[in-house]
């Protein structure tokens, strides 16, 4: 696997985490998950996505951020009018260097960002860092 291959996988992972975390933020904000009925009496609802180019450590990354009908949703991960999303690669690489398995990293991403990382992002495609101790 080349450095370019690793970078491509990391960009896909970064995009997936940002978009899923933003979707989870929207779920929390509206009080219901996508695909479920909106709570009785709730006036606001989902209104698609808007494209945004986030600036990451390795360049621009096009992401889709969910929108609400009232335009009041304020994403926390990358706020309105913000574009920076840095240090993500370093955090994932650090998890590998600490000896975390792919499953442990997947569990962490699920717990922290409500993001299910697909089997496409498995240890056979991302080289494991050697243990430092």
Confirm whether 125 is domain-assigned.
no
On average, the pLDDT of the chain sits at: 79
Q: Quick check: 34 and 19 in contact, CB under 8 A? A: no
Q: Quick check: 10 and 2 in contact, CB under 8 A? A: no
Confirm whether 123 is domain-assigned.
no
Confirm whether 44 is domain-assigned.
yes
Average pLDDT over residues 27-32: 91
pLDDT digits (tens, 9 = 90+) for 63-121: 999 999 999 998 887 778 877 776 666 777 777 788 877 778 778 777 766 666 665 55
Q: How far is CA 121 from CA 29, 41, 93, in A?
A: 29, 40, 14
Q: Please report the pLDDT score of residue 122 as a whole number.
A: 43
Confirm whether 108 is domain-assigned.
yes
Confirm whether 61 is domain-assigned.
yes
Q: Give how many domains the chain has, as a whole number.
A: 1
- 130, pLDDT greater than 90: no
Q: What's the predicted TM-score (pTM) here?
A: 0.64
Confirm whether 120 is domain-assigned.
no
What whole-number distance in Å separates Cα of residue 124 and Cα of residue 112? 24
Confirm whether 130 is domain-assigned.
no
**Full domain range(s) for residue 13:** 3-113
Q: Please report the pLDDT score of residue 129 as a whole number.
A: 40
Confirm whether 8 is domain-assigned.
yes
């Amino acid at each position: 696997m080349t450095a370019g291959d690793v970078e491509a996988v990391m960009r896909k992972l970064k995009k997936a985490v940002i978009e899923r975390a933003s979707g989870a933020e929207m779920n929390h904000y509206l009080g219901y998950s996508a695909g479920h009925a909106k709570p009785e009496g709730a006036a606001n609802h989902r209104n698609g996505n808007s494209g945004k180019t986030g600036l990451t450590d390795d360049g621009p990354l096009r992401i889709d951020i969910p929108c609400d009908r009232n335009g009041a949703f304020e994403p926390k991960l990358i706020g309105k009018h913000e574009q920076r999303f840095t240090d993500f690669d370093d955090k994932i690489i650090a998890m590998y260097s600490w000896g975390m398995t792919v499953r442990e990293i997947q569990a962490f991403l699920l717990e922290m960002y409500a993001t299910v990382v697909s089997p496409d992002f498995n240890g056979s495609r991302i080289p494991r860092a050697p243990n430092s101790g």
